[in-house]
Amino acid sequence: MDLNTLLTALQTHLPEILRWSGAIAKRLRHFNIAVENKTSGSALTDALTLADLTLQELIVAALRDRDPIFRNCRIEAEEKTGDLHRFAEDAPYVISIDPIDGTKQYRDKTADGYCVMVHLRDSETVHYSLVYIPETGEQGTWVEAVHQSVVCGPDDQSRPAREVLDDMPAIDPATRPDSSKIYLIGFQDKDTSNAELVTATGLEGVPPEEMPGSIYDHLATGAFGGSLIHTPNVYDFPVSLHIARILGGDAVWVHNGESVNFHEHWLDERADMLRLPGITACSANPETLQTLCELAKDWSKTRYQD
Protein backbone atom coordinates (compact mmCIF):
# COMPACT_ATOMS: atom_id res chain seq x y z
CA MET A 1 0.00 0.00 0.00
CA ASP A 2 1.42 3.38 -0.99
CA LEU A 3 1.59 5.74 1.99
CA ASN A 4 1.24 8.94 -0.01
CA THR A 5 -1.89 7.65 -1.74
CA LEU A 6 -3.35 6.74 1.63
CA LEU A 7 -2.48 10.15 3.08
CA THR A 8 -4.10 11.92 0.14
CA ALA A 9 -7.29 9.90 0.62
CA LEU A 10 -7.40 10.73 4.33
CA GLN A 11 -6.81 14.43 3.69
CA THR A 12 -9.53 14.43 1.04
CA HIS A 13 -12.29 12.66 2.94
CA LEU A 14 -11.73 12.95 6.68
CA PRO A 15 -12.28 16.69 7.24
CA GLU A 16 -15.92 16.68 6.18
CA ILE A 17 -16.53 13.40 8.03
CA LEU A 18 -15.22 14.85 11.30
CA ARG A 19 -17.14 18.08 10.75
CA TRP A 20 -20.37 16.06 10.39
CA SER A 21 -19.46 14.07 13.49
CA GLY A 22 -18.87 17.25 15.46
CA ALA A 23 -22.28 18.60 14.49
CA ILE A 24 -23.94 15.41 15.74
CA ALA A 25 -21.96 15.57 18.98
CA LYS A 26 -23.14 19.14 19.61
CA ARG A 27 -26.77 18.14 19.03
CA LEU A 28 -26.71 14.97 21.14
CA ARG A 29 -25.14 16.85 24.03
CA HIS A 30 -28.51 18.46 24.75
CA PHE A 31 -29.98 15.09 25.81
CA ASN A 32 -29.39 12.55 28.59
CA ILE A 33 -27.09 10.14 26.74
CA ALA A 34 -24.89 8.62 29.48
CA VAL A 35 -24.18 4.88 29.19
CA GLU A 36 -22.84 2.59 31.92
CA ASN A 37 -20.14 0.29 30.62
CA LYS A 38 -16.48 0.68 31.68
CA THR A 39 -15.33 -0.16 35.20
CA SER A 40 -11.73 0.95 35.59
CA GLY A 41 -12.54 3.06 38.65
CA SER A 42 -11.47 6.29 36.92
CA ALA A 43 -14.33 8.68 36.16
CA LEU A 44 -12.36 10.12 33.24
CA THR A 45 -11.82 6.70 31.68
CA ASP A 46 -15.23 5.20 32.41
CA ALA A 47 -17.34 8.01 30.95
CA LEU A 48 -19.29 6.76 27.93
CA THR A 49 -22.20 8.23 26.00
CA LEU A 50 -24.45 7.33 23.11
CA ALA A 51 -22.59 10.06 21.23
CA ASP A 52 -19.33 8.05 21.41
CA LEU A 53 -21.13 5.06 19.92
CA THR A 54 -23.01 7.07 17.29
CA LEU A 55 -20.01 9.05 16.08
CA GLN A 56 -17.87 5.96 15.78
CA GLU A 57 -20.60 4.25 13.74
CA LEU A 58 -20.62 7.23 11.37
CA ILE A 59 -16.84 7.50 11.04
CA VAL A 60 -16.36 3.77 10.43
CA ALA A 61 -19.14 3.69 7.85
CA ALA A 62 -17.70 6.70 6.03
CA LEU A 63 -14.22 5.15 5.93
CA ARG A 64 -15.75 1.91 4.66
CA ASP A 65 -17.60 3.62 1.82
CA ARG A 66 -15.55 6.65 0.77
CA ASP A 67 -12.41 5.00 -0.64
CA PRO A 68 -11.52 1.28 -0.89
CA ILE A 69 -7.96 2.03 0.22
CA PHE A 70 -9.20 2.50 3.78
CA ARG A 71 -10.38 -1.11 3.96
CA ASN A 72 -6.79 -2.21 3.43
CA CYS A 73 -5.89 -0.72 6.82
CA ARG A 74 -6.52 -2.11 10.26
CA ILE A 75 -8.96 -0.21 12.45
CA GLU A 76 -8.41 0.43 16.15
CA ALA A 77 -11.43 2.12 17.65
CA GLU A 78 -12.12 2.98 21.26
CA GLU A 79 -15.68 1.62 21.11
CA LYS A 80 -17.15 -1.55 19.57
CA THR A 81 -19.65 0.00 17.16
CA GLY A 82 -19.34 0.17 13.40
CA ASP A 83 -18.68 -2.22 10.54
CA LEU A 84 -15.21 -2.99 11.84
CA HIS A 85 -14.94 -6.44 10.28
CA ARG A 86 -14.87 -4.86 6.79
CA PHE A 87 -11.29 -3.70 7.40
CA ALA A 88 -8.04 -5.64 7.26
CA GLU A 89 -7.09 -7.84 10.20
CA ASP A 90 -3.38 -7.65 9.40
CA ALA A 91 -1.91 -4.59 7.68
CA PRO A 92 1.08 -2.27 8.12
CA TYR A 93 -1.08 0.83 8.67
CA VAL A 94 -3.65 1.40 11.40
CA ILE A 95 -6.47 3.96 11.32
CA SER A 96 -7.29 4.75 14.94
CA ILE A 97 -10.49 6.49 16.07
CA ASP A 98 -11.44 8.29 19.26
CA PRO A 99 -15.03 9.41 18.58
CA ILE A 100 -15.11 11.75 21.57
CA ASP A 101 -11.95 12.58 23.46
CA GLY A 102 -12.92 14.25 26.71
CA THR A 103 -16.13 12.28 27.18
CA LYS A 104 -16.54 13.17 30.86
CA GLN A 105 -16.54 16.93 30.28
CA TYR A 106 -18.72 16.36 27.23
CA ARG A 107 -21.27 14.34 29.20
CA ASP A 108 -21.20 16.50 32.33
CA LYS A 109 -21.15 19.79 30.36
CA THR A 110 -18.26 21.06 32.48
CA ALA A 111 -16.19 22.33 29.53
CA ASP A 112 -16.32 22.56 25.75
CA GLY A 113 -12.88 21.25 24.74
CA TYR A 114 -13.96 17.73 23.78
CA CYS A 115 -12.98 16.65 20.27
CA VAL A 116 -13.40 14.07 17.50
CA MET A 117 -10.15 12.58 16.24
CA VAL A 118 -8.61 10.09 13.82
CA HIS A 119 -4.98 9.26 13.14
CA LEU A 120 -2.95 6.93 10.92
CA ARG A 121 0.16 5.17 12.16
CA ASP A 122 2.42 2.18 11.62
CA SER A 123 4.49 0.34 14.20
CA GLU A 124 7.05 3.14 14.46
CA THR A 125 5.28 6.49 14.24
CA VAL A 126 2.19 8.49 13.27
CA HIS A 127 1.73 9.71 9.69
CA TYR A 128 -1.55 11.62 9.78
CA SER A 129 -3.64 13.23 12.51
CA LEU A 130 -6.90 15.16 12.31
CA VAL A 131 -8.70 16.65 15.30
CA TYR A 132 -11.97 18.57 15.23
CA ILE A 133 -13.04 20.46 18.36
CA PRO A 134 -16.69 21.37 17.72
CA GLU A 135 -17.29 23.88 20.52
CA THR A 136 -13.97 25.71 20.68
CA GLY A 137 -14.34 28.96 18.78
CA GLU A 138 -17.45 30.24 17.03
CA GLN A 139 -17.62 27.38 14.51
CA GLY A 140 -15.15 24.84 15.87
CA THR A 141 -11.38 24.44 15.71
CA TRP A 142 -9.13 22.20 13.62
CA VAL A 143 -5.76 20.57 14.23
CA GLU A 144 -4.15 18.67 11.35
CA ALA A 145 -0.68 17.12 11.23
CA VAL A 146 0.76 15.55 8.08
CA HIS A 147 4.20 15.29 6.50
CA GLN A 148 6.20 17.98 8.35
CA SER A 149 3.35 20.43 8.92
CA VAL A 150 0.99 21.15 11.80
CA VAL A 151 -1.90 23.58 11.36
CA CYS A 152 -4.39 24.76 13.97
CA GLY A 153 -7.16 27.28 13.58
CA PRO A 154 -10.86 28.11 13.41
CA ASP A 155 -13.34 26.37 11.18
CA ASP A 156 -15.46 28.29 8.68
CA GLN A 157 -18.56 26.26 7.88
CA SER A 158 -19.46 28.45 4.92
CA ARG A 159 -16.57 26.78 3.09
CA PRO A 160 -15.57 23.15 2.45
CA ALA A 161 -13.60 21.75 5.38
CA ARG A 162 -10.64 20.77 3.21
CA GLU A 163 -10.45 24.28 1.80
CA VAL A 164 -10.40 25.76 5.30
CA LEU A 165 -7.52 23.53 6.33
CA ASP A 166 -5.57 24.20 3.16
CA ASP A 167 -5.66 27.93 3.84
CA MET A 168 -4.24 27.65 7.36
CA PRO A 169 -0.57 28.59 7.77
CA ALA A 170 1.71 25.93 9.22
CA ILE A 171 2.86 26.48 12.80
CA ASP A 172 6.48 27.68 12.85
CA PRO A 173 8.46 25.94 15.63
CA ALA A 174 10.81 28.93 15.75
CA THR A 175 8.06 31.37 16.73
CA ARG A 176 5.71 29.01 18.59
CA PRO A 177 5.58 29.85 22.34
CA ASP A 178 7.07 27.31 24.74
CA SER A 179 4.72 27.01 27.70
CA SER A 180 5.82 25.41 30.95
CA LYS A 181 2.38 23.79 31.41
CA ILE A 182 2.46 19.99 31.44
CA TYR A 183 -0.75 17.93 31.35
CA LEU A 184 -0.79 14.85 33.63
CA ILE A 185 -3.25 11.98 33.37
CA GLY A 186 -3.46 8.26 34.07
CA PHE A 187 -1.88 8.22 37.54
CA GLN A 188 -5.20 7.37 39.17
CA ASP A 189 -5.39 9.05 42.59
CA LYS A 190 -1.91 10.56 42.15
CA ASP A 191 -2.67 12.87 39.23
CA THR A 192 -2.76 15.95 41.46
CA SER A 193 0.17 15.06 43.71
CA ASN A 194 2.32 14.15 40.71
CA ALA A 195 1.35 17.42 39.06
CA GLU A 196 2.71 19.17 42.13
CA LEU A 197 6.00 17.29 41.71
CA VAL A 198 6.17 18.50 38.12
CA THR A 199 5.62 22.06 39.33
CA ALA A 200 8.47 21.66 41.79
CA THR A 201 10.86 21.13 38.85
CA GLY A 202 10.13 24.61 37.52
CA LEU A 203 7.52 23.44 35.05
CA GLU A 204 3.77 23.70 35.79
CA GLY A 205 1.91 20.44 36.32
CA VAL A 206 -1.77 20.50 35.32
CA PRO A 207 -4.02 17.63 36.52
CA PRO A 208 -7.12 16.57 34.54
CA GLU A 209 -9.62 18.61 36.53
CA GLU A 210 -7.70 21.81 35.70
CA MET A 211 -7.28 21.06 32.01
CA PRO A 212 -9.21 23.58 29.88
CA GLY A 213 -9.95 21.06 27.13
CA SER A 214 -8.21 18.50 24.98
CA ILE A 215 -4.43 18.81 24.76
CA TYR A 216 -4.04 18.86 20.97
CA ASP A 217 -4.77 22.48 20.04
CA HIS A 218 -2.99 23.65 23.20
CA LEU A 219 0.10 21.61 22.34
CA ALA A 220 0.05 22.68 18.70
CA THR A 221 -0.13 26.40 19.49
CA GLY A 222 2.27 26.27 22.45
CA ALA A 223 -0.33 27.07 25.10
CA PHE A 224 0.83 23.81 26.72
CA GLY A 225 4.38 22.53 26.68
CA GLY A 226 3.58 18.82 26.76
CA SER A 227 2.19 15.92 28.74
CA LEU A 228 3.16 13.20 31.20
CA ILE A 229 0.88 10.18 30.83
CA HIS A 230 0.72 6.81 32.57
CA THR A 231 0.06 3.92 30.15
CA PRO A 232 -1.54 6.09 27.44
CA ASN A 233 -4.17 4.57 25.19
CA VAL A 234 -3.55 4.06 21.48
CA TYR A 235 -6.54 6.11 20.30
CA ASP A 236 -5.66 9.65 21.39
CA PHE A 237 -2.08 9.86 22.74
CA PRO A 238 -0.41 9.17 19.36
CA VAL A 239 -1.74 12.50 18.07
CA SER A 240 0.25 14.34 20.75
CA LEU A 241 3.29 12.30 19.79
CA HIS A 242 2.80 13.28 16.15
CA ILE A 243 2.47 16.99 16.88
CA ALA A 244 5.52 17.02 19.15
CA ARG A 245 7.72 15.22 16.63
CA ILE A 246 6.82 17.55 13.78
CA LEU A 247 7.52 20.58 15.98
CA GLY A 248 11.00 19.36 16.89
CA GLY A 249 10.37 17.27 20.00
CA ASP A 250 9.34 13.70 20.74
CA ALA A 251 7.40 11.35 22.97
CA VAL A 252 9.62 9.09 25.08
CA TRP A 253 9.39 6.47 27.78
CA VAL A 254 10.56 8.13 30.98
CA HIS A 255 12.36 5.08 32.38
CA ASN A 256 14.89 4.96 29.52
CA GLY A 257 14.36 8.09 27.42
CA GLU A 258 13.76 6.07 24.25
CA SER A 259 11.31 7.25 21.60
CA VAL A 260 7.85 5.74 21.90
CA ASN A 261 6.87 3.19 19.27
CA PHE A 262 3.87 0.90 18.81
CA HIS A 263 5.44 -2.54 18.77
CA GLU A 264 3.92 -3.47 22.12
CA HIS A 265 0.60 -2.74 23.79
CA TRP A 266 -1.65 -4.34 26.38
CA LEU A 267 -5.39 -4.72 26.85
CA ASP A 268 -6.71 -2.81 29.83
CA GLU A 269 -9.73 -4.99 30.55
CA ARG A 270 -11.05 -2.63 33.22
CA ALA A 271 -11.31 0.23 30.71
CA ASP A 272 -11.74 -2.03 27.66
CA MET A 273 -9.03 -0.27 25.67
CA LEU A 274 -5.54 -0.88 24.31
CA ARG A 275 -2.69 0.90 26.06
CA LEU A 276 1.03 1.40 25.64
CA PRO A 277 3.24 0.21 28.51
CA GLY A 278 4.88 2.48 31.04
CA ILE A 279 4.93 6.24 31.46
CA THR A 280 5.44 8.58 28.53
CA ALA A 281 6.62 12.18 28.37
CA CYS A 282 5.70 14.22 25.32
CA SER A 283 6.93 17.69 24.38
CA ALA A 284 8.20 19.76 21.48
CA ASN A 285 11.06 20.87 23.76
CA PRO A 286 13.88 18.32 24.32
CA GLU A 287 14.87 20.04 27.58
CA THR A 288 11.34 19.59 28.93
CA LEU A 289 11.51 15.90 28.02
CA GLN A 290 14.78 15.56 29.91
CA THR A 291 13.28 17.21 33.00
CA LEU A 292 10.20 14.98 32.96
CA CYS A 293 12.27 11.82 32.45
CA GLU A 294 14.56 12.70 35.34
CA LEU A 295 11.55 13.31 37.58
CA ALA A 296 9.50 10.23 36.70
CA LYS A 297 12.10 7.63 35.70
CA ASP A 298 11.60 5.61 38.91
CA TRP A 299 7.84 5.96 39.20
CA SER A 300 5.85 2.73 39.09
CA LYS A 301 4.97 1.54 35.58
CA THR A 302 1.98 -0.43 36.93
CA ARG A 303 -1.29 1.38 36.20
CA TYR A 304 -3.48 -0.32 38.83
CA GLN A 305 -1.97 -0.92 42.24
CA ASP A 306 -4.76 -3.14 43.62
DSSP 121-163: E-SS-EEEEEEEETTSSSS-EEEEEETTEEEEEE--TTS-HHH
Predicted pLDDT at 185: 96
98 annotated as belonging to a binding site for a ligand: yes
Query: Hey, which residues does 96 pair with through a beta bridge?
Result: 76, 119
| CA distance linking residue 229 with residue 252, whole number of Å | 11
Which pLDDT tens digit goes with each residue over 97-122? Answer: 999 998 778 878 777 889 999 999 99
Q: Per-residue pLDDT for 294 more than 70?
A: yes
> Does CATH number 3.40.50.10490 belong to domain 3-171?
no
Q: Is 2 annotated in some ligand binding site?
A: no
Residue 221 has phi, psi (to 5 degrees) of: -85, -10
78 is in an annotated binding site: yes
Quick one: fold of 181-297?
D-Maltodextrin-Binding Protein; domain 2 (3.40.190)
Rounded (5°) CA angle 89-237-64: 35
100 annotated ligand binder: yes
**pLDDT level of residue 45 (50, 70, 90 thresholds):** very low
Q: What angle do CA 200, 179, 223 make, to 5 degrees?
A: 130
Give the residue extent of every domain in the chain.
3-171, 181-297
Look up the pTM and report it: 0.93
Q: pLDDT at position 38, please? A: 46
Q: pLDDT category, 58, cuts 50, 70, 90?
A: very high
The larger pLDDT score, comparing residue 77 to residue 275, is at 275
Q: What pLDDT digit, counting tens, does each position of 194-209 carry?
A: 999 999 999 999 999 9
Element (H, E) at 229: strand 226-230
